[in-house]
Structure 1
Amino acid sequence: MSCNANSHIKCTVTQCKNHSKDTDCCSLNSITVGTHEANPTMYECTDCMSFELK
């Protein structure tokens, strides 16, 4: 895992091991976004599938 912030991917989930320690950004080059709903209608219905617990 890289600790470099990717300024193109904003993230405030500090519990994720991919979170940049210095800024509210992800350290990955890209992420996968998914859903837990059959018919998502709001952003709360989406999930970062790249999340990994620290």
Structure 2
Amino acid sequence: MLDKSNRNHSIMCSVDSCKFHCDNADYCALSQIKVGTHEKHPSEKQCTDCQSFVASNR
């Protein structure tokens, strides 16, 4: 079971629809994340994705 009160201060995140988002702070509860892209040659930050994202069951 993931302890969402154990926020990782090295990973800031404002995506509160993610399962790993800390409920009362804009941090991730994972110890590490994987960042990827949906573009062949990304040139802007909008071209990158957090591939650790899992939709929450809210």
TM-score (structure 2 length as normaliser): 0.89
TM-score (structure 1 length as normaliser): 0.95
- Residues 18-54 of structure 1, C-alpha deviation per residue, up to 9 Å, x if partnerless? 0001210000000000000000001000000000000
How many residue pairs get aligned? The number is: 54
Structure 2: tracts of 5 or more residues without a match: none
Taking the aligned partners of 2:22 and 2:15, their CA distance within structure 1 comes to 10
The percentage of counterpart residues that share the same residue type is: 44
| Deviation at residue 11 of structure 1 after TM alignment | 0.2
Structure 1: tracts of 5 or more residues without a match: none
- Runs of 4+ displaced beyond 3 Å: none
Indicate the RMSD between aligned Cα atoms, in angstroms: 0.6
